[in-house]
Amino acid sequence: MGLSKSDLFSKEHNEIAALARAFAHPARVAIVFHLLETKDCINGELVLELGLAQATISQHLRELKELEIIRGTIEGTKMSYCINPDKWFEIKQVFDTMFDQFEQPTDGDCC
């Protein structure tokens, strides 16, 4: 069948998966990196930067926006997008916590 019976999994696991999904496509990674560098951009700029159609980029932007990773404000006839600092730190926190969960197996080698 299809996708994720999300009620099988804990809220935490579902949330991490949802956040990871945001970065699970190179176009969205590229968009985020572009925003990290220029801290201000428009859809059209990205259409030139990446080689994707306007509709496609708009769709990726919407996904990032729905997760509140980015914010957009209308700037005349253009749009200005930027990283949402609060969410950015929240995500960083979530992943940091996960990565720090790992303990080196001091005793023997496990496998």
Partner DNA sequence: TAATTTCATCGCAATATTACGATTATCGAG
Partner DNA sequence: CTCGATAATCGTAATATTGCGATGAAATTA
Q: For DNA, which is the closer residue by CB, 15 or 89?
A: 15
| Nearest alpha carbon to residue 62 among 72, 48, 76 | 72
Q: If binding is defined by CB under 7 A, does position 1 make contact with DNA?
A: yes
Site residues (CB under 7 A) for DNA, limited to 45-64: 45, 47, 52-56, 58-63
Query: Considering all CA atoms of the chain, what is the largest pairwise distance in Å, rounded to the nearest integer?
Result: 63
Among 45, 50, 60, 63, binds its own copies (CB under 8 A): 50
Contact between 25 and 61 under an 8 Å Cβ cutoff? The reply is: no
> Closest Cα to residue 23, out of 73, 88, 101?
88
- Using the minimum distance from each CB to its own copies, give the nearer residue, 14 or 58: 14
Cβ proximity to DNA, 3 vs 110, nearer residue:
3
